[in-house]
Each structure stands twice: as C-alpha cells, then as structure tokens.
C-alpha cells in the first residue's frame, strides 16, 4: 500500500521542519509549502491525502485556501487539519464551517498532531461515500458530483457544510434527522461542535435558499426534515 501523502502549509520554517520530521518518522510522505498560492497549486495538481494548513499565511490566508479547496470538486474531499496561533474561536468555527475536518492550536505537541491526523484519516475511511445521484425536489436541483445546488435554475453559493446538510436532508424527504445524527452524518462521530451549531447552519442555509428555505422543517424537540410536498 502506498504511504499516505500529507501537504504541510506554513510560512514558519521551524514549524515546517518539526511537522515534516515527525510525519516522516511515522511513515508519511510529506511535501511542504509556505504560501497559500503554492498550497492551492500543489493540492490541485498532486491531490494529497491530507493537508495540514496554517491559518496565518501571507497574502492568501488559510481560511481562503480552505474555502477554495472545498468549493473545488477535485479537491473538496481532501481532509484538512488547521493550525492556528490565534486561539480565536471565530477562526476555528469559520474554518470548520468552510469544511476543515479538525484543528490544533500552536504551540502543539507532535504526538497530539499525529493522533489528530490518524483520527481524521480513520474517520474519512469509515465514512460512506456520498450518493452521487442528482437530487431534484420542488424547485431545487442538487448535484453532488459538481458540488452545486440550484434554486429555480440559479446557483446558490453554499459552504461545504451547508451543501452537505442540504444534500443529507433533501435526499430523504419526510425523514427526520436529529441534530446529533446530522453531526455524525456530515462530520463523523467525533466532530468537535455542539448540537447548537446545527441550528446555526440550518438558519444560514434557509436564508441562502430564500423562498425554498421553507422546505427545511423543524421538528420540535427532535431535529429537522425536508418537506415531501409543496
């Protein structure tokens, strides 16, 4: 079996050396870049198995890199572990909403980083692949292969998490999904958010869908479902 290839993105040379050394010692193949532009180019051409991405990068920052990779159908499924020196909750939440899989605050233990990487790779392997069939319901068309959602023929700009939430509910109209089931289905069993975060995602998704947002129904005390008929 070919070794797992990891792309490490950080503009600090000592961090790159530390992370690369520990990863190679544990059998991973490692490539290192220092800028967001280089990260995007490498990820799109080489398709690494996982990306370790610092948020504080010059010019194009880590959040922008994460967002662009997750919107691109070629790179959307590459897991991303964020590194942040800020320790600011807002950056972590934004990164996770854009589609990052986990995060670690600097300074960090190499052993903890390795554990997080193993957990993310294990979770991705255990997660069943999304149903690639196009979903057409009411005035909405959802194309998982292209990672696109259209309402009345107009493209809706959704984050990675919003798209997966919409796809999850719309492909099973009438079925109720609890908040915890939604978290598990979208992220895996150990995704580090609360059930309250699901409510925030649903509210944002409804707003972006405009008139079609009414098809996402709240089932009081349980969770959410997609309306079967208009």
- Residue 33's pLDDT band (boundaries 50, 70, 90)? very high
Q: What is the CATH number of the domain that holds 24?
A: 3.40.50.2300
Domain that holds residue 218: 135-226
- 222 or 47, greater pLDDT: 47
Number of structural domains found in the chain: 2
- In this structure, the answer to whether residues 148 and 216 fall within a common structural domain is yes
Question: Is 38's pLDDT higher than 90?
Answer: yes
Is the distance from CB of 10 to CB of 27 less than 8 angstroms?
no
Looking at every residue in the chain, the average pLDDT score rounds to: 88
- In this structure, the answer to whether residues 156 and 211 fall within a common structural domain is yes
> Which of 109, 126, 143 is where one domain is finished?
126
Question: Is 31's pLDDT higher than 70?
Answer: yes
Q: 143: which 2 tokens?
A: 């194309």
């Amino acid at each position: 079996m070919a070794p797992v290839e990891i792309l490490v993105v950080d503009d600090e040379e000592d961090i790159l050396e530390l992370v690369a050394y520990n990863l190679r010692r544990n059998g991973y193949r490692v490539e290192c870049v220092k800028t967001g532009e280089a990260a995007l180019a490498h990820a799109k051409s080489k398709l690494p198995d996982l990306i370790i991405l610092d948020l504080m990068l010059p010019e194009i920052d880590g959040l922008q890199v994460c967002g662009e990779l997750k919107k691109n159908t070629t790179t959307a499924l590459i897991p991303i572990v964020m590194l942040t020196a800020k320790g600011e909750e807002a950056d972590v939440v934004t990164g996770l909403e854009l589609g990052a899989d986990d995060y670690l605050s600097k300074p960090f233990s190499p052993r903890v980083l390795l554990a997080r990487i193993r957990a993310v790779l294990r979770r991705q392997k255990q997660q069943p692949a999304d149903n690639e069939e196009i979903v057409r319901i009411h005035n909405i068309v959802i194309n998982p292969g292209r990672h696109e959602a259209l309402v009345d023929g107009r493209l809706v700009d959704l984050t990675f998490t919003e798209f997966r939430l919409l796809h999850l509910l719309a492909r099973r109209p009438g079925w109720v999904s609890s908040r915890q089931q939604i978290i598990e289905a979208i992220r895996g069993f150990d995704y580090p958010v609360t059930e309250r975060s699901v409510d925030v995602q649903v509210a944002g998704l409804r707003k972006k869908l405009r008139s079609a947002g009414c098809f996402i129904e709240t089932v009081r005390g349980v969770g959410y479902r997609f309306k079967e008929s208009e």
